[in-house]
A and B are shown apart, each in its own frame.
Chain A
Amino acid sequence: MQKDRTSEPIWTNAVFRATVYQIAAISIVALTAYYLFTNTTANLAKQSIATGFGFLSRESSFEIGESVLSFSSSDTYLKALAMGALNTIKVSLIGIVLTVLLGIFVGIARLSTNWLVSRIAAVYIEVLQDIPVLLQLYFWYTIFNNVMPSPRQAVIPFNGMVLCNRGVYFGIPADHPAFLWMGYAFILTCIVIFFIRRWAKKRQEQTGQIFPVFTVSTALIVLFPLAAWFVMGAPTEMNMPTLKGFNFEGGYNVSPEFGSLLLGLVLYTSAFVAEIVRAGIQAIAKGQREAAESLGLRSIFIMNLVILPQALRVIIPPLTSQLLNLTKNSSLAVAIGYPDFVSISNTTISQTGQAIEGVAIIMIMYLTISLLTSMFMNWYNAKMALVER
């Protein structure tokens, strides 16, 4: 097909058409944005709503039910939002740890050869996945509020734990500088273990000798902080919750809001994580295990060197997205009154009337979390990618 290119009409030229389409798309987006912008500015002017982020430095004049750092109503909106962010991070981090542990447990139980255990895990997964997480949150919250007894009739399953409609109280060790030093010792041990691991790997690559990294690290991580505790005088005094008047004092209190949010999120997300773990383990071909066995590897090495590295490659990407979901779902806290980031932004919006700035702040916060996570994921995928020959 020898055709003179110049004789083609211009609208059949691919480059020309692509340019037209793109200009059209940009114009539509720009025109919509302009239309919305003019409407919005007109509306804001008419309702005399202030614009800009100046409100952040104003006094918030509301109280926050529970916060990681101290907060009073004379603090600024910015600080209130920061407290909300800390609360979101707190519930997400604790939730993520518990979800992963519970999810792995249920996922392995689902693969158990014990019929009863496997069935229970299957029912757990199916039921919790199929009920909206918001309904689960309401359910646990009403359990805390309506079914739990008042502090005077509190349920005490064992010494040091109290259940009542004001939440759960735990006895914790009383304040003592020793615990700070235990923390330092823990961090120090982690650094030491990091270097031991590197050294052991290097030595194994050079000489083939295997160093029992796991056993040694476990021993170090237990012994080091314990030693710090002994050196600082081994304090054993406990801070126990005690009934004073109408409520408990002392100990560590998990509020009904935090407790039900955590419970709901963990139970819901762990059902998904369990499915991911099950699928990941099942995805490893049987031949891999058999090959490792026929090489004469010990079962712990089969797991650590053959099965897990491959299963993790399958498990980690969907797991990350589930954990991200947990973080995003923690915004449902607004429904049960836990002062998370969205809930405090919502209060801010209703007090200042600055909806656009408020919603923008919420979106920026969660987008940042998502982008950080996907950056981590890309790094991880690049690191773990199958190197094919």
Chain B
Amino acid sequence: MKNNAATPENPVSLKDTNARRKSLKSSITKPPIPPIRKSSIAKPPVTETGVIGWLKSNLFNSPRDTVITILVLLVFYKLIPPFIRWAFIDSVWFGPSSGCQPGVGACWAYIPANIRFVIFGLFPAEEQWRGLIAMLIMIGTVVYSRKRERWKLSLAYVWLGNTVLVAILITGGVFGLVPVESTKWGGLLLTLMLSVVGMTAAYPLGVVLALARRSKMPTIRTIAVVYIEMIRGVPLISMLFMSAVMFPLFLPEGVTINKIFRAQVAIIMFTAAYIAEVVRGGLQAMPKGQYEAAESMGLNYFQMMRLVILPQALKIVIPPTVGILISAFKDTSLVAIISLYDLLKTCQSTLSDPRWMGFSTEAFIFIAMIYFVFCYAMSSYSRRLEQELSAGQSH
């Protein structure tokens, strides 16, 4: 505990100040304190350090704490052993579903039996290596982008190039690759495609919308505001319904666009509105001097934005942007409702197989873990980045 009364910031009366000055003087005239020998320092009691000290200060600090800790441990004792018994001891890991005992142990045999379908959907079995490489490229691109020193224009080209590569791998039809119809795309592959392509396209669109919303031209600003507020006001599922039932009516006769592409467009439009709001926050946080300095250098609007404002503004808002990307990734699961075979839908459809019907808990835990791993990686990255950025600002 710091001595509150003695800090110079505190408004204290004159008398107090004088008294303090006096005491300060007397302390100065005192002879210096002799150095302390090490052996004379009393060691803290055992109960304050090490494991016991940790336990005492973190679990049994007060009577109330002790009661809570004991209650929690009691609940753990009741719940954890049966769970371990169900998940690990009485569980079946391989073989057909007939070897499982529903209600007794977990049937993890579901995973090896269905993993190919859950990951790749209806993608032809002999072409699945292409899907695998495409997924690795997509994950690799995201992982590659994590370093701050790589955030420059070349990164955009990396994304663009890899997107083309993934598109070639998935659709085929060139370089001797067998064409694969879009109706066959599915599983984790589709989930990753929807989210990575969604991110790639929504980000620039969001930046443009944010700039439009900050524009001095009233009509452009109004268009941006109406777009952003309308999209943010409605649930994603209504956008997906729009893409599924309403969009075909918009097209001229004879033109059809496949369902996945339509859903992808809905996701892009939806995510872009949210990114626009985050980017707008970054633009607003830029001090006015930056704009004025850029203008006084004689830069025009596009040069000012590209060279001065955006590089700084986009960096500030990276953590909330990652947040948007995480929710965009989770939200791709909504395409299951308009019956696209994403990770959630392929998993659900394995459960309509009579052999695996009763094992929904295992199946859902499995894909929940897949979603969790991706989201957790992104969110812990975002947290670390936030710390780095805030540490950078304080200097």
On chain B, the residues within 8 Å of A18 by CB distance are 216-217
By beta carbon, the residue of chain B nearest A118 is B58
**Would B65 and A22 count as touching, CB distance under 8 A?**
no
Does A94 sit within 8 A of B, measured CB to CB?
A: no
Known contacts A116-B72, A130-B376, A42 near B253 by CB under 8 Å: yes
State which of B107-115, B151-159, B174-182, B359-367 sits at the interface with chain A.
Answer: B359-367
On chain A, the residues within 8 Å of B361 by CB distance are 139, 142-143, 146-147
Does A334 sit within 8 A of B, measured CB to CB?
A: yes
**Would A132 and B331 count as touching, CB distance under 8 A?**
yes
A/B pair count, beta carbons within 8 Å: 154
- The CA of A120 and the CA of B234, in the complex, are separated in Å by 34
- The CA of A139 and the CA of B359, in the complex, are separated in Å by 11
- The CA of A363 and the CA of B72, in the complex, are separated in Å by 45
Within 8 A of B (CB), among A3-42: 18, 21-22, 25-26, 29, 36, 39-40, 42
Min CB–CB distance A107 → chain B (angstroms)? 16
**Would B367 and A134 count as touching, CB distance under 8 A?**
no
Min CB–CB distance A325 → chain B (angstroms)? 9
On chain A, the residues within 8 Å of B326 by CB distance are 130
- The CA of A139 and the CA of B232, in the complex, are separated in Å by 27
State which of B139-147, B161-169, B235-243 sits at the interface with chain A.
Answer: B235-243
- The CA of A1 and the CA of B333, in the complex, are separated in Å by 60
- The CA of A130 and the CA of B325, in the complex, are separated in Å by 12
Interface string of B231-266 (1 = CB under 8 A from A): 011111110011001101111110000000000000
Does B219 sit within 8 A of A, measured CB to CB?
A: yes
**Would B58 and A113 count as touching, CB distance under 8 A?**
yes
- The CA of A142 and the CA of B230, in the complex, are separated in Å by 34
By beta carbon, the residue of chain A nearest B191 is A132
Does A231 sit within 8 A of B, measured CB to CB?
A: no
**Would B246 and A26 count as touching, CB distance under 8 A?**
no
On chain B, the residues within 8 Å of A359 by CB distance are 238, 241-242, 245-246
**Would A355 and B246 count as touching, CB distance under 8 A?**
yes
- The CA of A26 and the CA of B58, in the complex, are separated in Å by 63
By beta carbon, the residue of chain A nearest B218 is A22
On chain B, the residues within 8 Å of A342 by CB distance are 235, 237-238, 241
On chain B, the residues within 8 Å of A29 by CB distance are 223
Which one, B219, B348, B368, B375, contacts A22 given CB within 8 A? B219
**Would B251 and A25 count as touching, CB distance under 8 A?**
no
Which one, B69, B238, B344, contacts A138 given CB within 8 A? B344
Does B379 sit within 8 A of A, measured CB to CB?
A: yes
Min CB–CB distance B354 → chain A (angstroms)? 14
**Would A22 and B217 count as touching, CB distance under 8 A?**
yes
Interface string of B46-65 (1 = CB under 8 A from A): 00000000000011010001
- The CA of A359 and the CA of B326, in the complex, are separated in Å by 27
**Would B237 and A334 count as touching, CB distance under 8 A?**
yes
**Would B69 and A116 count as touching, CB distance under 8 A?**
yes
Which one, A25, A116, A130, A138, contacts B371 given CB within 8 A? A130
Min CB–CB distance B173 → chain A (angstroms)? 29
**Would A366 and B242 count as touching, CB distance under 8 A?**
no
By beta carbon, the residue of chain A nearest B69 is A116
Known contacts A114-B69, A129-B379, A328 near B235 by CB under 8 Å: yes
- The CA of A369 and the CA of B235, in the complex, are separated in Å by 11
- The CA of A331 and the CA of B239, in the complex, are separated in Å by 12
- The CA of A312 and the CA of B69, in the complex, are separated in Å by 30
Does B337 sit within 8 A of A, measured CB to CB?
A: yes
Min CB–CB distance B275 → chain A (angstroms)? 15
**Would A139 and B217 count as touching, CB distance under 8 A?**
no
Does B334 sit within 8 A of A, measured CB to CB?
A: yes
Does A187 sit within 8 A of B, measured CB to CB?
A: no
**Would A39 and B252 count as touching, CB distance under 8 A?**
yes
On chain B, the residues within 8 Å of A332 by CB distance are 237, 334, 337
Which one, B72, B230, B251, B371, contacts A120 given CB within 8 A? B72
**Would B220 and A21 count as touching, CB distance under 8 A?**
yes
**Would B375 and A129 count as touching, CB distance under 8 A?**
yes
Which one, B236, B336, B360, contacts A142 given CB within 8 A? B360
Which one, B217, B331, B364, contacts A21 given CB within 8 A? B217
Does B130 sit within 8 A of A, measured CB to CB?
A: no
By beta carbon, the residue of chain B nearest A37 is B250
On chain B, the residues within 8 Å of A146 by CB distance are 358, 360-361
Min CB–CB distance B335 → chain A (angstroms)? 10
Min CB–CB distance A110 → chain B (angstroms)? 14
By beta carbon, the residue of chain A nearest B378 is A130
Known contacts A328-B234, A363-B234, A367-B233, A39 near B249 by CB under 8 Å: yes
List residues of chain B with CB under 8 Å of any chain A CB: 4, 58-59, 61, 65, 68-69, 72-73, 216-220, 223, 229-230, 232-238, 241-242, 245-246, 248-253, 326, 330-331, 333-334, 336-337, 344, 348, 358, 360-361, 364, 367-368, 371-372, 375-376, 379
Write 30 A-B pairs (CB below 8 A) sorted by A numbering: A21-B217, A22-B217, A22-B219, A36-B250, A39-B251, A40-B249, A40-B250, A113-B65, A116-B73, A117-B69, A129-B379, A130-B330, A131-B330, A132-B371, A135-B333, A138-B344, A139-B360, A139-B361, A146-B358, A331-B237, A331-B238, A332-B334, A332-B337, A342-B235, A349-B245, A356-B246, A359-B238, A359-B246, A362-B234, A367-B233
